[in-house]
Structures are given as structure tokens and as C-alpha cells.
Amino acid sequence: MNHLTLRSREFFPDQDFRLEFIERNPQVPFPLHSHDFSELVIVLGGTGIHFTQGDSYRISGGDVFFIESGFSHGYRNPENLHLYNILFDAYLLDHAFLDIAHMPGYHSIFFIEPKYREGHRFSTRLQLTEEQMKRITNLTSRMRRELKGPSGEYGNRAMALAYFIEAVVTLSRFYGLTGSAESREIHRLSRVFSYMEQNKYRQITIDELVDFSCMSYSTLNRAFQQATGCSPIEYHLQLRIRKACRMLETSPEDITSIAGRCGFVDSNYFSRQFRKTIGITPRDYRATQSQRKDTL
């Protein structure tokens, strides 16, 4: 089967600000393809088949789903299919704004549901009510106006980003209201991800996570392997290392202090784990980031 790869340079006029809005009305059949950016799909109306390399799903008005960078998908048999495609660099959400990463619904939509989609036959996608759709289309329409506004008007990118984040938060809250059995499974796991995000400043134990999640050891480990490819404790360690990366980039604190703020009481252990995860020492990472900023 032929496979297209769509590149960010083809879709983002400004490579320093990778956020774009595309309306497909109607969406025509589109072959299997992937892209080096992320995509949030909002189905406004009509029907069609959304297919992947190994499966296919019927979509219709109200459906919302996230496509990760590198994931292969396409559309066939559209009947008046009307889509909003919000294209963005995952960097915008990787550096999660304020407490957005504390929202279970955020993890559900942008991380866990895509991993469970095939097994759940797409039943765990977010499906908006008519009133919810009005709220989202209002936000995305405002975002589009800012993105398409006069290039000389200052502040339009900031406003577009603000509307995008508001839409993400609103959708995350909506997902928390879904009540199917399959969605409840995702809700429960999402709460664990949220709990980990809120506790990146300290070590946590598997017993603590089992108690919080009300899952057995085996169920929790199996869920994390499916969603992340690693154990819960390994994933939490990676979160703490990523937090340390951001602090090394932005904070003047010494490495020992940063290690302590990320829950590492032994700075040597922190350095070993940092190098194991990132590939270089914390000191070298900070120097590399400083040099990169100097060249910008």
C-alpha cells in the first residue's frame, strides 16, 4: 500500500510557530499517510471511514480524536464529511501549560486513548454533544481568525495559542464526563498519569500507585506497558528527568538543588539516571542548551 509522509514545512508558514488550522469541507478520500506533526481532528458533520494500517472506524459529526506524529491513517467513503484539522507541534503540549497536565482528561485524549483505540474499536473517542460542539467550534473559529489575520498585526499568534490551549482544556474537561465502560478504564488510568504529574517533585512507590488507582499490580503494569512501553515507576522517573531538563534550561540553580527539587536526594544517582535517560550528563545538557540559545 502506498504511503505518503507529510512534512511540517509544507503546512506551517512560520517554523518557529507550528500551529495551523485547516478546514476540510468536504473531506475527500485521502490515502494512508503520516506526518511529522500532531493533529487534532474535530468532525463537524457527515460520515466516513477513518482507517489505519490495521483497522478502520466509522466517524461522524461530534467525534474528536488525536493523531500522533508518525501515525499512519487516512479517509475513505466520505459522505459530506466536514472536518476541522488543528495541526501543531507536540512541543506545545509537551511543555504543558500550568496545570493542564494535572487533568486526567488531557491524558485521556492526547496520550492514552490513541494507544487503546484499536483494542476498544474506537469506542473510547470523545463524542461531543450539540452544545459542546458549539463551544468548541466557537473557540476554534476564533483561533482560525487569529491565525489568518493580518501578518503585521502583533499579538495574533499569542491569541491563537491562547484559544488553542482553551480548546484543549475544554475538550479535556468534556472527556471527563464520558461514561462508557471502556472510557471508565481510560479514566482510571488517566487519573494515575495525573497523579504522577502532580508528584514529580518526589519519589513514589508502586504500592502507592496501586492504592491510588485501585488496580492490582499486574493490571497497573500491563496498562502502563500498553500505554508507555515501560513500568509505572520507570515512567515516573522519566517525568522527573524531563522536569529536571526544563529546570536546567531555565533555572540558574545548581545541579544538586535541581536534583533535590525533582525528588533525588543523591545527586550522583540523579546524574546516573539523567545520563541513562537523556544520553549525556546534566552538566553537559545545560551547556548544550546554553550554546543553542546563544546561536538563536
Q: Which of 28-37, 87-96, 110-119, 188-197 has the lowest mean pLDDT?
A: 87-96
Answer with the residue of higher pLDDT: 254 or 98: 254
DSSP secondary structure letter of residue 230: S
Instruction: State whether the Cα torsion 13-16-21-22 is positive or negative.
Output: positive
State mean pLDDT over 252-261: 95
Surface-to-core class of residue 269, CB atoms within 10 Å of its CB (0-12 exposed, 13-18 middle, 19+ buried): exposed
Closest to 31 in 3D by CA, of 67, 69, 71, 76? 76
Answer with the residue of higher pLDDT: 271 or 150: 271
pTM: 0.89
Answer with the residue of higher pLDDT: 61 or 98: 61
Q: Which of 10-24, 155-169, 171-185, 202-216 has the lowest mean pLDDT?
A: 171-185
State mean pLDDT over 281-292: 88
- pLDDT tens, residue by residue, 116-147: 888 888 889 999 999 999 999 999 999 999 99
Closest to 161 in 3D by CA, of 65, 110, 86? 86
Distance CA 161, CA 155 (A): 10
Nearest 5°: CA angle at 190, between 131 and 198? 110
First to last CA, the chain: 41
Per cent of the chain over pLDDT 90 is: 81
